[in-house]
A = this chain, B = another copy of it.
């Protein structure tokens, strides 16, 4: 295969996309938009802090499955449903729970809808695995 498709543990395998694809010999890691599900079950209905923590936990699962570390994430795109500014620190709580002091580049926008109305945010990521630290 030209690229490697990976199904991380703890996230249900979707029918139409792959959660993680690595390329360039495993060095470039593409992570699909993650939502607040644990093994296919919604987590944190109506609770942005809980949803954000689950989303970033899932990104952590994806990174682990790809052999990458959180501090190798270079780009996040954060899509928020029913956006309000109060959500920003709540989303941040999730980011910090995975990344600590590492701060990837990010883009955060409010969208008209996510794929299911229970989801409050969806976050995708790119990581680059390099030698040294």
Is the beta-carbon distance between B105 and A109 smaller than 8 angstroms? no
Is the beta-carbon distance between B95 and A16 smaller than 8 angstroms? yes
Is the beta-carbon distance between B18 and A103 smaller than 8 angstroms? yes
How far does the Cβ of A21 sit from chain B's closest Cβ, in whole Å? Answer: 4
Is the beta-carbon distance between A128 and B85 smaller than 8 angstroms? no
A contacts with B, residue count (CB < 8 A):
57
Q: In chain A between 41 and 69, which residues have their CB closer than 8 angstroms to a CB of chain B?
A: 69
Q: Given A1-B71, A30-B74, A72-B3, are A107 and B79 also a contact pair (CB < 8 Å)?
A: yes
Q: Nearest chain-B residue to A25 (Cβ)?
A: B130
* Contact partner, A114, options B5, B109, B116, B124, Cβ 8 Å: B109
Q: Which residues from chain B contact A100 at a C-beta distance below 8 Å?
A: none
Q: In chain A between 68 and 112, which residues have their CB closer than 8 angstroms to a CB of chain B?
A: 69, 71-72, 74-77, 79-80, 83, 85, 88, 92, 95, 103-112
Binding site for B on A (CB under 8 A): 1-3, 5, 14, 16-21, 23-25, 27-28, 30-33, 69, 71-72, 74-77, 79-80, 83, 85, 88, 92, 95, 103-116, 122, 124, 126, 128-133
Give 4 nearest A-B pairs by CB, closest first: A110-B113, A33-B107, A23-B128, A32-B105
